[in-house]
Structure 1
Amino acid sequence: MVTRRRFLQGMAAATAVGQLGSLSALAHGVQQAMEPASAGPGAAANRVLGYVDVFVGSGGHGHTYPGATRPFGMVQLSPDTNNAQWDGCSGYHQGDGSIMGFSHTHLSGTGASDMLDVLVMPAMGPVLLQPGDRDFDGVNYVSRFDAKKAGGEKPEKGYKTGVKGYRSHYTGEQAHPGYYRVKLTKHDILAELTATLRAGIHRYTFDKDGDAHLLVDFAHGYQDDPREPTRLSDVEMRLVGNDTLVGGRRVWQWASGRVIYFAMKLSRAPTSVTLYSDDKALPAGSTEVKGDNLKAALHFDHASKAPLLVKVGISGVDIDGAMRNLDGEIPGWDFDGVRAAAEAEWVAELSKIRMESSSDKVNRLFYSSLYHTMLAPTVFSDIDGRYRGMDKAVHTLPAGRHNYSTYSLWDTYRAAHPLYTLYQSDRVPDIVDGLVRLAVESPSGAPVWPLQGIETVCMIGYHSAVVVAEAQAKGFKGIDYAKGWPVFRRRAMQDDYFGLGYYRQLGYIPSDKEGEAVSKTLEYAYDDWAVASMADALGHAEEAAALRKRSQNYANVFDKTTQFSRPRDAAGQWIEPFDPIAIGHSSRWRDFTESNAWQATFLNQHDVYNYMALFGGEDAFEKKLDGLFNADPTLPDNAPPDIAGMVGQYAFGNEPGHHMPYLYAYSGSHYKAQARVRMLLDTMYLPEPDGLPGNEDCGQMSAWYIMSAMGLYSVDPVSTNYVFGSPIVDRAQIDVGGGRTLTIETKNNGEGRPYIQSVTWNGQPWTKSWISHAELVAGGTLSFTMGETPNKDFGKARADRPPSYGAPAPAA
């Protein structure tokens, strides 16, 4: 175990040498931060790097990748085992038996895919140009990886299977934040990967004699159909000197039309290089090639026992940008120095929340989850500040700012962005001002799911409005809210965007005119609430009032007779027949987005008390909420796989349900929220590859765990309030910025003790079931006393219930 002082001493040694300083000093600093020491209780919290298991979510339907990256890094250097089908969304799945190679961009936990740029695969013998099937037929360039032993030698000290954070689900494959290694058994090659913010470095050790080569497959990428190639255009590669390969391409996949460039340097010059177009070799001596299907083989006669190093920079701007990123971030060939710097940065970022728990499972899940919250959004600007905007033009940022990409906003506005406002407060201005910038630059307006300068228009609503409004309401500076206002106003008031015309005209979207109409109506209502908050803050009172009133349009798809949100037609009639577990009212239509009427009925986040009245009062609302969790979990045959993690008809494995257990706080039965949240924390997550209840979705699934483990959840992020749940940590200290610390602690906690008995804030009794962001970030100590039986009086008084719609709970 380590003390806090010992940890800081180790980090000081680690960071003093800079990003690429002395390996011995930097590694020693990281080691100090991780090594046990004679210390008091709770010092295990500082072994943050050791608790992270990067393989969590890499099996099942988690869709995560295990490779090397930096916090919010532009490069994600990771193995590809699969580049097609739903469980290949990240390029990796734990159940696959072979590796295609190592590419430099990946998505974490998404349900749609793209990326997998610049695949590099080391090999020996003749050049094979086709990857082959992931089940490995022994003929193509894929390779099995060692499932029995780590390269024939004993694993490094501290990296062996079974040690926290360095566990591998194949013994020959090992990884932790900032570093990945695997033994490719086809040719007995040890591959190691690490990364900086915008570049990656590979180290390949060839353990057999003979001719070797690197295959660069620039046609590789995600494929919607495994029988069809990745859709590409404007592809080029060229040799520069005798040790550098550069290239660029336009990709027409999910982020249709995105462009990416790379620059690759080798630690020793190849003896020859063969360029290929459509798998045909160009004449010897060719140094440039254009086409849609390009590859290169870099040959090395008689593989040396000295490792071969490969470093690659990427850019969304041009080849020169990729080269500057590479030379600026990895000027030399110190693989171990880059790796140690990556580890030091991860230790520093993970240590922004210093959590203590007597449970090894909680320690592992907490820090693995915290790690996953820092894999998106990702930096997408060059070292010189240039970036490619949503208008496809190249822009330059002011010094010290970053442009970001990979905003999975339909998911992450719910918990990930509220979490960032607590422990990544210094990064929030860049992340949120980036959304404003994207909104202004984008021809399509308010961002929905932007990826590498392209709007994918994935999912419903326009929840960038929520993220911007939340930051504005929480008082974050360095964000040009006024610049973004016209764009968000236009979307709310004018754009004819996916049913918004009907929404404005009728107060709801008719299900005989627009797909997923019920869910769209409900989510537009919440976006109205967010844009109304923006309008208020900027002095646009008339628009704020109109949007606030319109945010109650949720009532127009609520049927008081059945007590469900359900589809209605353009004439205003409820569509029959109605089945609350159905996804659509016919084979032609889906009325809900990855949900059904049971789940959509509880989407309301911002106006809970007025919504309760539609049910006939809080008792009827609570009874219906009980029914959600206790209903028959059967789903229709056409339910999408995203509807997962079922508890009755509650689908925890999909993000729209994440706030629903906390709704009990509004009915005065907070103890039910406590019990339900603790059950979900205990049963829905495991520190294993198949350890997530659904897609990770760029950190949202993990952010729910982090927030709930600390006893907090933002039901309505725009309100800036957090509802209490059932904390499972013993203690957590959060660096909330400005030198202030928020401490959360529990007493008498443990298995079978999910219920809050009492709460104190800075030593004073706290009877409310919620607390504001402003109070938490001022610093202080929030203390929960827990027990095995519910204290039904806690949070029951109306004065103690969370506010909603900008007002306290109404009198009885």
Structure 2
Amino acid sequence: MITRRKFLESAAATAAVANLPAKSLFAMAAPVAKDDVLQWADPRVGTGGHGHTFPGASVPFGAMQLSPDTFNEGWDWCSGYHVSDSSIMGFSHTHLSGTGAADLLDFLVMPGVGVAKPQPGSRENPESGYRSRFSHANEVATPGYYSVMLDTSKVKAELTATERVGVHRYTFPATDSAYIIVDLQHAQANKGISTVVSAELEQTGADSIAGGHVTNAWGRGRHAFFSLTVSKKPKKVVFFKDDKEVPVGKLTGANLKAVLYFDTKANETILVKTGISAVGADGAANNVKMEVPAWDFDSVRRSAEVKWRQQLGKVHADFADAKHKTIFYSALYHMSLGPTRFDDADGRYRGMDNAVHTLPKGAENYTTFSLWDTFRAAHPAYTLLEPERVPQFMNTLIRMGEESPAGAPVWPLHGRETECMTGFHSASVIAEACNKGVTGVDYAKAYTMLERGRNDDKLGEQQHRDKGFIAADQVEESVSKHFEYCYNDWAMANLASKLKNDVGCKQHLALSKGYKNNWDASVGFMRPKFADGTWASPFSPIEMGHTKKWRDYTESNAWQTTFAVQCDPAGLIDTLGGQKAFLDKLNLLFNQPSTLPDDAPPDIAGLVGQYAHGNEPSHHIAYLYVYAGAPHLTQSRVRSLMETMYKAEPDGMQGNEDVGQMSAWFLLSALGFYPVDPVSTIYVLGSPLTNGATLSMGKGRVLKVEVTRKNAGDAYVSEFWLNGKKQDRAWFHHADIANGGTLKFVMSDKPNMTLGADAKSIPPSQQII
């Protein structure tokens, strides 16, 4: 496995340093009805800072994510867009939402006027290529729709989408040299060099072209195909190979482009329909036929908006502060951009074995599972809001594991296994679904698949099983790998238990406790060990590792990793010396200097002391106070984090969005609960930011969150009622609300020191359901 940092080391990963435009500098969308939920979701949140989101058009969980690309290299352009830029390369059809590594940006389309240059040109000098300058004041982004005025060519660009088809509408000035360029070489670049290794292009009709390419970016050997049709027959079509004009025909190579020329009247519109597929250009063409048979941009846009209105309408939440409402619904929007569909309208898909398969009737296939991130809160949120999709997600992961030479999925991307990050958290999300009673999944098949995926010695798995730790002088990121495997073993123990496999359950349960072998009481931290069992030296809790050769922790240090035991909070508390010692240590975490070494990855962001909200290993930590009998400390801390770590602006996230996880933390926290250990199905209470919410859980099931407070700033839970019964505990099981229910919070400006403080009221730990 590799980390996102490792992947980007060879790239020009200079973070964007610019004065970020405020939200008010963007154009506003057309007025909508007062109660229309679409007005509260802002796709531009996270497009600045290190959020790595994109502002373009999509539908919930759709394969087509059509968005502008302002640059295609560097860490802050993992999505192809950053709000600090002032020129646009064009509009490509696939994007990653908030990842810390870069890929996709397939099949860039760009309109222009004049003689088309085959190169995009530079950000410093856009006129040297087909780039265009633009202003954020002329940019509109709403769920399912994006538009911008291209200042260089005076062309207005509008984008919308279906599941697999992107629809462009370009409004041209009067000219005899309007053009649309299609660049197949465009992709994420490495040191200025495109990662496209081969491509194919042909004219398939008077008004259509098709082709595809293979890329070696994050997902090596990734296949993508397209079919593109325009609403007006071009007067001339020009093909380029290696940026030299060549006769139109069937082309192959690594650098292929097409230019379609038109005569246009003032304000004449030309529409473009682009279907995508991982199977072939024929599949892409059929996707267009099935999803967008007519030339009606506005109809497609309305359909996309209906889908987003339904998606965002699954939660109706009220807030005292409109900014919190924007953050909340923007979070729900971003959570709904992934995982993404990865199949054609005819049911074919490209498997992890690079072969083309056909899905069983009624099945759906997905990709872009950022599992190391999303197992923590995004997938638990899906079990509440996506009852139809969760079984499809799980069955996709099982298929992937059965088809992939690498075994159990780690970070699968468009038919490729990136092997990015640590652990096998496909086990985590499948076990969570199993424990929550998700049906329509063959858990026996899943268990077999997951066991097969645990056999790679170079990743330290064998040492984790045999030694109970991973040697820091033999395996990089040894402590984090070991801890993630501990959680995966906890997940496997639960699956084994459900399958009546007592031997497997006991074996995995014992392995899940191996984190204790990294506790060094003499320094008070989880510390790496050498192969001979001695402690790795030198040691500093703020360092990434004992040597510059490689790190001992994944995007974290000993401060954060010491609390990275989600599978056994009670065991962690005992290991650190009991409740008082644990609480003292946890308080110290938040009150340390926020000092990091020079080689710390930029992922460690959003620091409060040594707590790093901008990265996932910290996300559960503020909720650990509940397991130590001090829920009021969780309530105070979580409320502060919600107030300080998120903004309703482009620079609105302290770290990468990571395909929904950063957003899911806010959404669940704002509702008042969070899953420290998702497999356990336990939610622990925080401090609801909402004044009340209703969640539609499907099949007529409704979860109500009722909140009573005198003042907006009241952060402490004075009383907690579950389904009409007053509680003396600060947690509940998923089963308590699985068929709907009511959570009632009575809030105060002063902590209730007795709620959840008694030993009998503390959430159970390592209790297999």
Letter in 1 for 2:756: G
Mapping for residues 9-20 of structure 1, pairs under 5 Å = none
CA distance in 2, matches of 1:208, 1:86: 39
Is 1:448 the counterpart of 2:410? The answer is: yes
| Matching residue of 1:35 | 33
Letter in 1 for 2:495: M
| Matching residue of 2:210 | 246
Task: Identify which of 101, 108, 116 aligns with 1:119.
Answer: 108
Mapping for residues 479-490 of structure 1, pairs under 5 Å = 479-490=441-452
CA distance in 2, matches of 1:129, 1:569: 55
CA distance in 1, matches of 2:30, 2:389: 27
CA distance in 2, matches of 1:197, 1:79: 18
| Matching residue of 1:474 | 436
| Matching residue of 1:585 | 546
| Matching residue of 1:733 | 694
Task: Identify which of 181, 184, 195 aligns with 1:230.
Answer: 195
Is 1:185 the counterpart of 2:151? The answer is: yes
Task: Identify which of 129, 144, 156 aligns with 1:140.
Answer: 129
CA distance in 2, matches of 1:31, 1:298: 32
| Matching residue of 2:495 | 534
CA distance in 1, matches of 2:548, 2:458: 24
1:203-251: CA deviation from partner (whole Å, max 9, x where unpaired):
00012433111110100000122x2222322x11100120110001111
Distance 1:366 1:540, change over 3 A: same
1:566-625: CA deviation from partner (whole Å, max 9, x where unpaired):
111011111222100000111112111000000000000121112222222111011111
CA distance in 2, matches of 1:802, 1:617: 15
| Matching residue of 2:652 | 691
Bigger mean CA offset, 394-403 vs 713-722? 394-403
| Matching residue of 2:70 | 81
CA distance in 2, matches of 1:787, 1:608: 27
SS state at 1:211 partner: strand
Bigger mean CA offset, 68-77 vs 615-624? 615-624
| Matching residue of 1:417 | 379
| Matching residue of 1:49 | 38
CA distance in 2, matches of 1:652, 1:208: 51
CA apart distance, 1:358: 2.3
TM-score (norm 2): 0.95
Task: Identify which of 769, 787, 794 aligns with 2:748.
Answer: 787
Mapping for residues 682-761 of structure 1, pairs under 5 Å = 682-748=643-709, 750-761=711-722
1:637-658: CA deviation from partner (whole Å, max 9, x where unpaired):
1000000000000011000110
Distance 1:186 1:208, change over 3 A: farther
CA apart distance, 1:47: 2.6
SS state at 2:167 partner: strand
Given that 2:560 and 2:610 are in contact with CA atoms closer than 8 Å, whether structure 1 keeps it comes out as yes
CA apart distance, 1:402: 1.0
Given that 1:72 and 1:378 are in contact with CA atoms closer than 8 Å, whether structure 2 keeps it comes out as yes
| Matching residue of 1:764 | 725
Is 1:507 the counterpart of 2:461? The answer is: no
Paired residues, what number?
Answer: 741
Mapping for residues 607-646 of structure 1, pairs under 5 Å = 607-646=568-607
CA apart distance, 1:505: 2.0
Letter in 2 for 1:276: F
Distance 1:414 1:434, change over 3 A: same
| Matching residue of 2:81 | 92
Distance 1:206 1:807, change over 3 A: closer
1:239-280: CA deviation from partner (whole Å, max 9, x where unpaired):
012011000111111100010110001101101101111011
Mapping for residues 272-287 of structure 1, pairs under 5 Å = 272-283=236-247, 286-287=248-249
| Matching residue of 2:25 | none
| Matching residue of 1:354 | 316
Distance 1:667 1:194, change over 3 A: same
CA distance in 2, matches of 1:425, 1:318: 31
| Matching residue of 2:137 | 171
TM-score (norm 1): 0.90
| Matching residue of 2:366 | 404
Letter in 1 for 2:442: D
Given that 1:136 and 1:144 are in contact with CA atoms closer than 8 Å, whether structure 2 keeps it comes out as no
1:635-686: CA deviation from partner (whole Å, max 9, x where unpaired):
0010000000000000110001100000000110110000000000011000
CA distance in 1, matches of 2:575, 2:616: 24
Given that 2:546 and 2:552 are in contact with CA atoms closer than 8 Å, whether structure 1 keeps it comes out as yes
CA distance in 2, matches of 1:714, 1:497: 31
CA apart distance, 1:31: 11
SS state at 2:466 partner: helix
CA apart distance, 1:497: 4.9
CA distance in 2, matches of 1:137, 1:274: 22
Distance 1:749 1:94, change over 3 A: farther
| Matching residue of 1:18 | none
Which ranges of structure 2 fall in alignment gaps of 5 or more residues?
Answer: 1-28
| Matching residue of 1:65 | 54
SS state at 2:345 partner: coil
1:426-461: CA deviation from partner (whole Å, max 9, x where unpaired):
111101111111111111001000001100000011
CA distance in 2, matches of 1:696, 1:478: 30
CA distance in 2, matches of 1:662, 1:598: 16
Given that 2:401 and 2:453 are in contact with CA atoms closer than 8 Å, whether structure 1 keeps it comes out as no
CA distance in 1, matches of 2:292, 2:196: 31
CA distance in 2, matches of 1:476, 1:505: 33
SS state at 2:747 partner: strand
Bigger mean CA offset, 644-653 vs 758-767? 758-767
Bigger mean CA offset, 604-613 vs 73-82? 604-613
CA apart distance, 1:399: 2.2
Letter in 1 for 2:193: E
| Matching residue of 2:524 | 563
Letter in 1 for 2:44: F
Distance 1:801 1:755, change over 3 A: same
Letter in 1 for 2:269: P
Which ranges of structure 1 fall in alignment gaps of 5 or more residues?
Answer: 1-29, 37-45, 148-169
SS state at 2:180 partner: strand
CA apart distance, 1:56: 0.2
CA distance in 2, matches of 1:389, 1:228: 28
CA distance in 1, matches of 2:710, 2:301: 38
CA distance in 1, matches of 2:426, 2:123: 38
Is 1:315 the counterpart of 2:270? The answer is: no
CA apart distance, 1:127: 1.4
Letter in 2 for 1:61: H
Bigger mean CA offset, 351-360 vs 651-660? 351-360
CA RMSD, 1 decimal: 1.4
Letter in 1 for 2:759: R
CA distance in 2, matches of 1:384, 1:180: 28
Task: Identify which of 228, 242, 261 aligns with 1:264.
Answer: 228
CA distance in 1, matches of 2:589, 2:77: 32
| Matching residue of 2:23 | none
CA distance in 1, matches of 2:453, 2:107: 37
Give aligned-pair identity as a percent: 49
1:282-321: CA deviation from partner (whole Å, max 9, x where unpaired):
13xx222111100001111345632000000001111111
CA distance in 2, matches of 1:172, 1:276: 32
CA distance in 2, matches of 1:616, 1:289: 68
Given that 2:706 and 2:743 are in contact with CA atoms closer than 8 Å, whether structure 1 keeps it comes out as yes
CA distance in 1, matches of 2:55, 2:176: 31
SS state at 2:361 partner: coil
CA apart distance, 1:699: 0.5
1:494-540: CA deviation from partner (whole Å, max 9, x where unpaired):
44250112212211001011100011111111111011111111121
Given that 1:212 and 1:303 are in contact with CA atoms closer than 8 Å, whether structure 2 keeps it comes out as no
CA distance in 2, matches of 1:208, 1:187: 11
